[in-house]
């Protein structure tokens, strides 16, 4: 289905590259499973409201003829759209748009800014949903266990929001759905967390290189047609900055300050470079959101300011063409 970003499951290997010290506190895990359940429930709602048999019959097509038959008809109104309409086994574009898919015209001209958040809870099909939820489980569970639901929840939601802003600045003529921006935000946060807490890790160079390779592979996938790489990049940059802000770890001396003899000077909670990264990241994040939202609601076309950016999302070859958005 044109315009719907498809997350690739090779993000899941990032979790294996993310070595966290055994002494860290393990938080009770509940937010990431809740996000998975919420996305699955939302997809069931999509399919229920889509009601493929009803709409196929309304178009005057025979329920079982040619390419206009619903897929998995034994599911009744939960059956999928014909594969030539949606090869991902999901609802129609009209259903996704009604439920809150990202649509530039509706966001800018009809003042439906809520779509910048609602789109991250929608998925184009079963394949899209499974790929994203597997990635969320492998990446998100480890992060929530070590940093808690508040920080990871904020990173997930703000990264999805940041991905939607960047996507809307460039993609105008098609809808976009999916949690890809939020997932890339978690990857970005993993990378910045590794950098800001560099001194506490073992095998840090191997972990850094592995994370960079995973990020580059996933971004490279975004140059294929019908994949919203702008949402990926916007989410990644947002998560990367949020990692410096929300995931620095205190120095060991600060953690053990209660056991230090009287009169011994206790180290500051964080190192100087951690404070510097925190401040710079906070400024860049606020400025990025402010500039992006102002440009979006003024109707600025990102391609007019950055002509080469069209190749960030899709590179035309002899095998496929890219939509001009």
Phi first, then psi: give them for residue 151, nearest 5 degrees.
Answer: -65, -40
Classify residue 89 as left (phi > 0), alpha (psi -120 to 50) or beta: left
Q: Tokens 């490279």 label which residue?
A: 220
Residue 258 is among the residues annotated as catalytic for this protein: no
Q: Considering all CA atoms of the chain, what is the largest pairwise distance in Å, rounded to the nearest integer?
A: 86
Helices 31-50, 126-147: axis angle to 10 degrees equals 160
Burial tier of 320 (Cβ tally within 10 Å: 0-12, 13-18, 19+): exposed
Cβ atoms 27, 200 nearer than 8 A: no
Say which of 232, 281, 313, 325 is annotated catalytic.
Answer: 232
Cβ atoms 170, 47 nearer than 8 A: no
DSSP string spanning 225-294? TT--HHHHHHHHHHHHHHHHHH-----HHHHTGGGSPTTPPPPPSS-HHHHHHHHHHHHHHHHHHHHHHH
Q: How far is CA 68 from CA 48, 52, 58, 62, 129, in A?
A: 19, 10, 12, 7, 23
Burial tier of 204 (Cβ tally within 10 Å: 0-12, 13-18, 19+): middle
Say which of 180, 192, 281, 325 is annotated catalytic.
Answer: 180
Residue 167 is among the residues annotated as catalytic for this protein: no
Active site residues: 180, 232
């Amino acid at each position: 289905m044109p315009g719907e970003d498809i997350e690739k499951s090779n993000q899941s290997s990032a979790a294996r590259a993310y070595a966290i010290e055994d002494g860290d506190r393990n938080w009770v895990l509940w937010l990431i499973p809740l996000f998975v359940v919420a996305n699955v429930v939302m997809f069931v709602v999509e399919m229920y409201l889509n009601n493929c048999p009803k709409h196929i019959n309304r178009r005057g097509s025979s329920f079982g003829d040619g390419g206009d038959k619903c897929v998995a008809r034994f599911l009744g109104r939960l059956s999928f759209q014909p594969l030539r309409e949606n090869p991902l086994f999901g609802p129609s574009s009209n259903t996704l748009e009604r439920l809150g898919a990202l649509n530039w015209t509706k966001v800018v001209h009809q003042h439906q800014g809520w779509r910048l958040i609602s789109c991250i809870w929608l998925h184009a099909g079963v394949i899209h949903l499974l790929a994203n939820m597997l990635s969320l489980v492998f990446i998100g569970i480890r992060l929530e266990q070590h940093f808690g639901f508040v920080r990871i929840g904020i990173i997930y939601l703000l990264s999805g929001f940041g991905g939607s802003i960047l996507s809307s600045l460039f993609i105008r003529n098609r809808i976009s759905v999916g949690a890809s921006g939020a997932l890339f935000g978690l990857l970005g946060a993993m990378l910045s967390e590794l950098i800001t807490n560099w001194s506490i890790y073992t095998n840090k160079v191997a972990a850094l290189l592995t994370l960079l390779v995973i990020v580059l592979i996933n971004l490279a996938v975004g140059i294929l047609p019908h994949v919203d790489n702008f949402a990926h990049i916007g989410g990644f940059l947002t998560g990367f900055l949020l990692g410096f802000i929300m995931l620095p770890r205190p120095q060991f001396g600060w953690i053990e300050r209660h056991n230090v003899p009287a009169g011994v000077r206790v180290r500051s909670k964080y190192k100087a470079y951690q404070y510097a990264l925190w401040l710079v990241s906070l400024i860049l994040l606020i400025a990025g959101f402010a500039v992006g939202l102002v440009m979006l609601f003024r109707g600025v076309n990102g391609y007019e300011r950055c002509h080469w950016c069209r190749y960030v999302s899709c590179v035309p070859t002899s095998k496929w063409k890219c939509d001009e958005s």
